[in-house]
Structure 1
Amino acid sequence: MSATAADSTVTTNPAPGDFASLSPRTGAELARYPVHDGEHVRAAVRRAADSAQWWEGLGFAGRRTRLAAWKKVLVQQLDRVARVVADETGKPFDDARLEVILVIDHLDWAAGNARKVLGRQSVSPGLLMANQAASVSYRPFGVVGVIGPWNYPIFTPMGSIAYALAAGNTVVFKPSELTPGVGYELARTLAEAVPEVGRYPLLTVVTGFGATGAELCRAPGIGKIAFTGSAATGRRVMAACAENLVPVLMECGGKDALIVDADADLDAAADAAVWGGMSNAGQTCVGVERVYVVESVAGRFLEKVRAAASVLEVGSATNEGQLGPMTMPSQTEVVRRHVTDALDKGGRAIVGGADSVPAEGGAISPVVIADVPEDSVAVTEETFGPLVVVNRVPDVDEAVRRANATGYGLGATVFSAKRGEQIAQKLRTGMVSINAVIAFAGIPSLPFGGVGESGFGRIHGADGLREFARPQSVARQRFGLPVGVTSFRRTAKVMQTIVGVVKARHGR
């Protein structure tokens, strides 16, 4: 079966250069998709650039109406879209449904708030320029390229796509080669919602591997690239974009920590640690990979974690379970290396162990290892699998120090009855959840992004809308001055008057 970027219908005649989308649960072929070359990508960008003029011209109200129609289609077809997400990633169906629900909420927020955030705003011209009227507006880039991941193949890229569209851009989307069908579902539902898409493509999907993404970065007419993936791949994306000075938004993963204070609700903290570390088979950039628990409550906390994690079922072809298989089979070797290193360096297996990781691909049972040295790769490198390291610390200050002792800086979680806000302020991360886990990702008004190796730029919220627009400053003279300050007719007496005003106002 084959699909094209212009039409999401599937045929039975695969063309040369096609690749297969496979089910992580069964290994069966789901569909085939074309490997788009540079010529195709450039043509897609040109069509998107032509459409961008029409889309921007609709204004905020016109765009909001059409994005609201798209939201309605996504609501009506929620289960259909979620089934594609579940089939291509292997995650449980209800987890895929939750992902689509979050997309709907974010799409609604972006469309509903774009005018308020990006519309023209008057600003004070100041005393010296009192004869001017000053304003700032935010104009779209034109065409935004989005390179999406496979772990949350609809929620993560829609954090860019929805906000970019609401800001007045058109989008060319390159989904992961592991989840291309999700990209076509987004394009299909948008086309159903907006009749003009047949003439003015707003969301064009290009499929393929790294070379296709590189062509998108270099395509003439691209105004900005939004990328989600590893820091190593992010650097290559930035290098490609630098050739044409194309600005980039980078979301590059994390090694997120959860801190458990002595006064924390241990039941809630343990539940958060297990869900944050094991949901989506641990394949979550803001998932819990490290836990630092204060010594005085460590024993009770570990027992609660053991009880919660040990009953989780790993899905198969016939049973969904709470955990699906690894979406990318090669990631299994990374998890095995981290588990082995943690145990070899003295860590204690609380749940699972080396036997939890299969020899090749497939599903990995939950693994919890305690008392792992901080130089273990299980602590220093992103695992992206169902492994949680739990280390004891003498106090919260030491927990913060260890949590910050990484090049990453994406998200974090704090459980504390009284000091949550205080602890959060000390963490070098872009986001923090207090007495919950990953809550920030579900709040559309909060910006999402990190620092350091976790990247830069923000999706979601007002910052996310501004990320896909360029500020334009306008100064309009309301009335002329007797002698212009910015004129060769300016006299020494005029300058003396200006200096006197400045000294009187600012020299006190």
Structure 2
Amino acid sequence: MTSTRDAVSAPAAGQDAQQDTFDSLDPRTGEVIASYPRHTPEQVEAVVARARRAARWWNDLGFDGRATKLGAWRRLLDARRDELAAVVSRETGKPMDDARIEGILALDHLHWAAKHARRVLGPRNAAAGLLMINHKATVEYPPMGVIGVLGPWNYPVFTPMGSIAYALAAGNTVVFKPSELTPGVGTWLADSFAEAVGDVPGDINADAVFQVVTGEGETGGALCRAGVDKVAFTGSTATAKKVMATCAESLTPVLVECGGKDALLVDADADLDDAAAAVVWGAMSNAGQTCVGVERVYVVDAVAEDLLDRVAARAAQVRPGGRPDSPYGPITMPSQLGIISGQIDDALSRGGRAVVGGPGSVRAPYVDPVVLADVPEDSSAVTDETFGPTVVVNRVRDLDEAVERANASRYGLGASVFAKARGHEVARKLRCGMVSVNGVIAFAGIPSLPFGGVGDSGFGRIHGVDGLREFTRPLAISERRFRSVNVMTFDRPNWVVKVLAKLVSVIYGR
């Protein structure tokens, strides 16, 4: 399998000796890990064309045939879990165990998608209704064709695999453009897939089913314009708008999963130690670079000081570093450091208080845990996504006020509720796509649950039944079973409509 250091020596379709390249860097040290091609629009079009030729073969394998191929890939990923984790750790700076967790979660989703694709997407009967009682009605979900996936750098395996695995299981081929910060991860995944699938008959190459193109935003734009049948994007809301505008040029549909400002709500009857542990891990793990990470906490006044003390005690014990066993690593994208500093300064200048850490916690490329309290709701630390190991803890009158504040955000991705009596009730009131009750981010680890948001957090879903159908087109088929009076003709008798009208009144007009 091609290693990251051999990346440039393995050209994609159309690549020549003068290929422009860019470097992948270790965010902990700035060391160059490897160089990768900046694929041009012409090269991206060639890659998509290869995927188009392979799409029919991949779809014709059927659900069982694809499940066999995806099962072989799953077993290879499992066998080389540490190898993949090492690539992730080098390009993101995250600890090895966090990188391993990504691989484990991806395996679970890959297995679920392959196992359930037939049940979810295969033909199913539908009711024909009174007017068409002599017809059989069925619905099935054929693949769209070629799916373009634009992936993020914060979870470069788990997040894009939520689109890649489900699109492949549904019968599509995939062209994946990983983040320019993690091109080695994308290359590794595509190489491992080709190795697992092995030889295929005819003039179709196994590596045409799942291919990777690398580069920055220009390459992503080229993929949007290259004739794919759908684009699945994960990233910032600002970039999502650019992707949507580009895709609109050709009416290419999009699935958009953007950031969040996820809230964790704590009621007076909650297990405060569990809630505190969830706050700290949800806010600080992966250096806070998690779209569904905890960024806001709303706790009822009766237990606010108790919870804050527990959160502070836990957060004070966590320190980032570059070791494989560090709790979390560096800020992967250097420009994010300024955003984190700006939000901390804004919160404090508006009367918030730093319970743990403060402005001095930002020490590139690392950021120590920061816990802020009593921050005004119009502060950027409350309104804007941070993507750093900081959290705001604000007190509220009761859980109903907590819901109001949580829902006031323009984002609506995930949330958590810690409460014994009202947890599920409150979860249903939150304007977001996913909620964990007495847990944090648990929904992401359940393959059968859809994942996605509302508002500035995007639209469309990956994972689960919805994730499989996201990469298909519903096909409705009606088939006449027997002859009867046909209303769909100019030859129908005059009395037919009168009889039907009376019959409909008897059945539906009551």
- Evaluate the alpha carbon distance shift between residue 204 and residue 144 of structure 1 in structure 2; reply closer, same or farther with a 3 A threshold: same
- CA deviation after TM superposition for structure 1 residue 491, in Å: 2.1
- Evaluate the alpha carbon distance shift between residue 14 and residue 309 of structure 1 in structure 2; reply closer, same or farther with a 3 A threshold: farther
Determine helix, strand or coil for the equivalent of 1:128: coil
2:178 is aligned, of 175, 178, 181, to: 175
2:341 aligns with: 336
2:264 aligns with: 258
- CA deviation after TM superposition for structure 1 residue 506, in Å: 0.7
Output aligned runs, 1:81-230, within 5 Å.
81-196=84-199, 199-200=205-206, 201-220=208-227, 222-230=228-236
- CA deviation after TM superposition for structure 1 residue 45, in Å: 0.3
2:21 aligns with: 18
Q: Is the 8 A contact 2:230 2:253 kept in 1?
A: yes
- CA deviation after TM superposition for structure 1 residue 468, in Å: 0.4
2:327 aligns with: 322
Q: Is the 8 A contact 2:298 2:396 kept in 1?
A: yes
1:487 aligns with: 489
- Evaluate the alpha carbon distance shift between residue 87 and residue 499 of structure 1 in structure 2; reply closer, same or farther with a 3 A threshold: same
Aligned partners of 2:80, 2:161: CA distance in 1, in Å? 16
Determine helix, strand or coil for the equivalent of 1:144: strand
Matched, 1:61 2:64: yes
Q: Is the 8 A contact 2:106 2:161 kept in 1?
A: yes
1:302 is aligned, of 305, 308, 311, to: 308
Output aligned runs, 1:420-499, within 5 Å.
420-481=423-484, 483-499=485-501
- CA deviation after TM superposition for structure 1 residue 424, in Å: 0.5
1:58-105, CA deviations, whole angstroms, 9 ceiling, x for partnerless residues?
A: 100000010001000000000000110111000000000001000000
Determine helix, strand or coil for the equivalent of 2:110: helix
Determine helix, strand or coil for the equivalent of 1:470: coil
1:222-273, CA deviations, whole angstroms, 9 ceiling, x for partnerless residues?
A: 1000000011100110011111111000001100000010000000000000
Matching residue's letter, 2:71: A
1:354 aligns with: 359
Q: Is the 8 A contact 1:114 1:166 kept in 2?
A: yes
Q: Is the 8 A contact 2:145 2:173 kept in 1?
A: yes
Q: Is the 8 A contact 1:2 1:18 kept in 2?
A: no
- Evaluate the alpha carbon distance shift between residue 304 and residue 136 of structure 1 in structure 2; reply closer, same or farther with a 3 A threshold: same
Q: Is the 8 A contact 1:19 1:32 kept in 2?
A: yes
Aligned partners of 1:7, 1:85: CA distance in 2, in Å? 22
- CA deviation after TM superposition for structure 1 residue 196, in Å: 3.4
Aligned partners of 1:428, 1:286: CA distance in 2, in Å? 14
Aligned partners of 2:289, 2:440: CA distance in 1, in Å? 15
The ranges of structure 1 where at least 4 consecutive aligned residues each deviate by more than 2 angstroms after the TM superposition are 4-8, 13-16
Which runs of 5 or more structure 1 residues have no equivalent in the other structure?
Answer: none
Determine helix, strand or coil for the equivalent of 1:126: coil
Q: Is the 8 A contact 2:27 2:91 kept in 1?
A: yes
Aligned partners of 2:325, 2:448: CA distance in 1, in Å? 33
Aligned partners of 1:476, 1:394: CA distance in 2, in Å? 60
Aligned partners of 2:76, 2:191: CA distance in 1, in Å? 10
Aligned partners of 1:196, 1:107: CA distance in 2, in Å? 21
1:354-398, CA deviations, whole angstroms, 9 ceiling, x for partnerless residues?
A: 00012xx40100100110011100000000000100001111111
Aligned partners of 1:37, 1:4: CA distance in 2, in Å? 14
Determine helix, strand or coil for the equivalent of 1:172: strand
Determine helix, strand or coil for the equivalent of 1:186: helix
1:258-317, CA deviations, whole angstroms, 9 ceiling, x for partnerless residues?
A: 00100000000000000000000000000000000111101110110011000112113x
Which runs of 5 or more structure 2 residues have no equivalent in the other structure?
Answer: none
Q: Is the 8 A contact 2:97 2:325 kept in 1?
A: no
Q: Is the 8 A contact 1:2 1:33 kept in 2?
A: no
1:139-169, CA deviations, whole angstroms, 9 ceiling, x for partnerless residues?
A: 1010000000000001000000000000000
- CA deviation after TM superposition for structure 1 residue 175, in Å: 0.1
Matching residue's letter, 2:358: G
- CA deviation after TM superposition for structure 1 residue 498, in Å: 1.1
Aligned partners of 1:490, 1:267: CA distance in 2, in Å? 74
Q: Is the 8 A contact 2:8 2:35 kept in 1?
A: no
2:371 aligns with: 368
Determine helix, strand or coil for the equivalent of 1:469: coil
Matched, 1:415 2:422: no
